[in-house]
Amino acid sequence: MLFGMTEEQLAQLGLTWGVGLFIAYMLFIIWKLARDSKAGRFGTFMLFVVLAFGMLGYIAKMVIAWFLQI
């Protein structure tokens, strides 16, 4: 037991908050890339659509699992 948590609780904490913070950091990196490259509105939009598409799948999986209470 680490910090009074079981291994399962620690893994769940890492998967929810850890991956969530990592996704937020990646969105910040995409925003900085768009700003530094002076991509404009459409370019910034396309960067977010293309580079953040994989993150959308992970978020959808979490929402579906929460909705179905799996």
Euclidean distance between CA atoms 52 and 3, whole angstroms:
34
Q: 59: how many CB neighbours lie within 10 A of its CB?
A: 14
Is the pLDDT reported for residue 4 higher than 90?
A: no
The string of pLDDT tens digits covering residues 6-56 is: 888 888 888 888 888 998 999 999 999 999 999 999 999 999 999 888 888
CB 39 within 8 A of CB 68: no
CB 42 within 8 A of CB 50: no
Dmax (CA) of the chain: 50
Is the pLDDT reported for residue 59 higher than 70?
A: yes
pLDDT at 68: 93
Q: 34: how many CB neighbours lie within 10 A of its CB?
A: 19
